[in-house]
Structure 1
Amino acid sequence: MEQSSNYYLYLDECGDQNLANFDPSFPIFTLCGVIVSEEKLHELERQINDLKQRIWNSTHIILHSRDIRKCQNGFEKLFDLSVKEDFYVSVNQILGQDMYVIICCGILKELYIRQYGKMNDVYGLSLSFIMERTIFYLDDLKDNNIFLTTIIERRGKKEDKALFDYYNRILDTGTYWVKSERIKKYFKRFEMKWKKENIVGLQIADLIAYPMTRHILNNEGVNYAYDVIKGNIYQKDGKLYGLKVFPLK
């Protein structure tokens, strides 16, 4: 029996799903996916853990974009500008490598509400966009033995059940562009992990979600972090298939 090629899809969100009452200064929900092969995942884990060990003398600290930006919850060391420069240079070197693929969906809440109202499900919609584009990317690899594991961070019993229901519903019904059988060919396992489990793939997705979101909100603003990662956004036939903005501005 031919051995499977193991791939992982890590998912992280930026913003919240609330359409009824949201911050007008941050009118977006973003779901960001990072696809990585098992081989390259091991190398990314090694590099991230080497960075943590060098700066914190431990691999136990968990990279979280918001805490890093605010230098809080274990990231107080970054108040030291020399340490901060070392950290950001190293992170940019790691994330700038061609070792993973980004597939991201941003829902613009104001436009969405105008067209579809406030009762619709932005998480399920975002997940469907990411899953179908993941299929397109995996098809491009022309490997009939891919085994894909989807991994998200646990939020709570109610939220976790809703996420699992979204996933299973898409598996069972497919999307407009991709039939159920085609999705099930690749999507084999769904796992939920606690933040404390220190999953490097989820931390990479977290680091990427914020600059992707800022780019969607203002693609003409200065965004050095986006400049580092933009080469990893999935492209197909010269088009940026890995960045879905809905509805279009």
Structure 2
Amino acid sequence: MYRLYVDEVGTDDMNDLENDDHRYLSLTGVAMKTDVARDDLTPKFDWVKKAVFNQDPDEPIIFHRRKIVQRKAQFGVLNDPIKLDLFNRAMLKIYKQCDYAVITAIIDKLEASRRDKWKEKHPYHYLMQILVEKFARFLVRKNSFGDIMPEGRKGKKDAALQVAYDDVRGKGNYYFPPEQIRYRIPASKLKIRYKSDNIAGLQLADLLAHPSHMHIRACNKHPVSIGKYADAVIGILAASKYDRSSQGRIAGYGVKYLP
């Protein structure tokens, strides 16, 4: 049984698209067996939280990339070079050794807005439909089954995402029939959870989503800046973690760039 943990980078609105901060949206899914998430990833994350941050068992630390980068709250201890080195080495080791596959779909909303066939599409929902299809294909190759756990955005946005999920389960898409999607992903409801739920798989998706987003943009000749640590994360993704065909092809499997 696999679970696809999903997080986003960017915004889903269609305003100020000439600004690069608003132009691109990506969804990253981390496909992992549920027993691996429970028995391997969670204990490893807990070790880091204890060793680096001296985690209080009654006040769990939740990994959040933006707060880590900004050294906010508990992550202020990373201003200590020794703590930072331990954290970076431990996390890179986890990224490399844990068993999971990454699928990232990214859309250039400005370019999409210029094409008639995209004008009625909601960017977040469309990317989720792409992830559902790619995850179903992954499950076929693994001869397994799964469900999907996105990080929730509260209220109407979560309800609208469920509608988009219902749509792709009901209709499939041009490339993949709905019967196969429903067979491989039998749950009719998304397992929407939130940061406060302290789910290791969602935290992993949060930590990998931004490096993956920037890597795909760099591959498409965008003028992005990638730091040394992010480059190390990207190296791990490219070497072994992006989903890929039996011939090793990543494009169309672990990475999808739109439109």
**After TM superposition, is the score higher than 0.5?**
yes
* 1:119 CA drift (Å): 4.5
Partner amino acid for 1:125?
A: Y
| Structure 1 residues 33-73: Cα deviation after superposition (integer angstroms, max 9, x where no partner) | 00001232121111111111111222611111111111113
Q: Is the 8 A contact 1:37 1:100 kept in 2?
A: yes
1:23 Cα deviation after fit: 6.5
| Amino acid aligned to 2:3 | Y
The aligned amino acid for 1:224 is A
Gaps of 5+ in 2: none
Pairing 1:44–2:41 present: yes
- Decide whether the 8 Å contact of 2:65 with 2:207 is kept in 1: yes
Residue matched to 1:187: 185
1:132 alignment partner, SS class: helix
1:10 corresponds to: 5
> How far apart, CA to CA, are the structure 1 residues paired with 2:18 and 2:203?
25
What CA distance in whole angstroms lies between the structure 2 residues aligned with 1:39 and 1:196?
Answer: 21
CA RMSD of aligned residues (A): 1.7
Instruction: Say if 2:232 is the partner of 1:235.
Output: no
Whether the 8 Å CA contact 2:3–2:149 is kept in 1: the answer is: yes
> Contact conserved, 2:53 with 2:75, CA < 8 A, in 1?
no
Deviates more, 1:90-99 or 1:216-225: 216-225
User: Residue 20 of structure 1 contacts residue 118 of structure 1 at CA under 8 Å; is this kept in 2?
Assistant: no
Note if contact 2:26-2:105 (Cα within 8 Å) is conserved in structure 1. yes
Cα distance in 1 for partners of 2:133, 2:17 equals 28
Measure the CA separation in 1 of the matches of 2:216 and 2:115: 19
Summarize the Cα distance change of 1:44–1:105 in structure 2 as closer, same or farther, 3 Å threshold.
Answer: same
Tell me the distance in 2 between the aligned counterparts of 1:73 and 1:19: 32
Shift of 1:98: 5.0
Partner Cα separation in structure 1 for residue 135 and residue 20 of structure 2: 30
Kindly report which structure 2 residues correspond to 1:52-63, keeping only aligned pairs within 5 A, or say none. Answer: 52-58=49-55, 60-63=60-63
The correspondence of residues 148-227 of structure 1 with structure 2, limited to 5 A, is: 148-189=146-187, 190-219=190-219, 222=226, 223-227=231-235
Question: Post-superposition shift, 1:226?
Answer: 1.1
Q: Give a deviation string over 1:88-110, Cα, whole Å, max 9, x none.
A: 11111101125000011010122
1:92 aligns with 2:100: no
Question: What CA deviation, in whole Å up to 9, does each residue of 1:67-92 have, x standing for no partner?
Answer: 11111132111111111111111111
**Corresponding residue SS for 2:16:** coil
Partner of 1:3: none
Higher strand share: 1
CA distance in 1, matches of 2:131, 2:27: 8
Does the aligned pair in 1 maintain the 2:29–2:104 contact within 8 Å?
A: yes
Secondary structure at the counterpart of residue 244 of structure 2: coil
Work out the CA distance in 2 between the residues paired with 1:153 and 1:208.
14
Q: Tell me the SS of whatever aligns to 2:105.
A: strand
Instruction: Identify, as 1 or 2, the structure richer in helix.
Output: 2
SS in 1 for 2:176: coil
Number of equivalent positions: 239
In percent, how many aligned pairs have the same letter? 26
Partners of 1:154 and 1:131 in 2: how far apart? 16
Quick one: distance in 2 between partners of 1:29 and 1:73? Answer: 27
C-alpha separation in 1, matches of 2:142 and 2:49 = 32
Provide the rounded CA distance (Å) in 1 between the counterparts of 2:49 and 2:143: 36
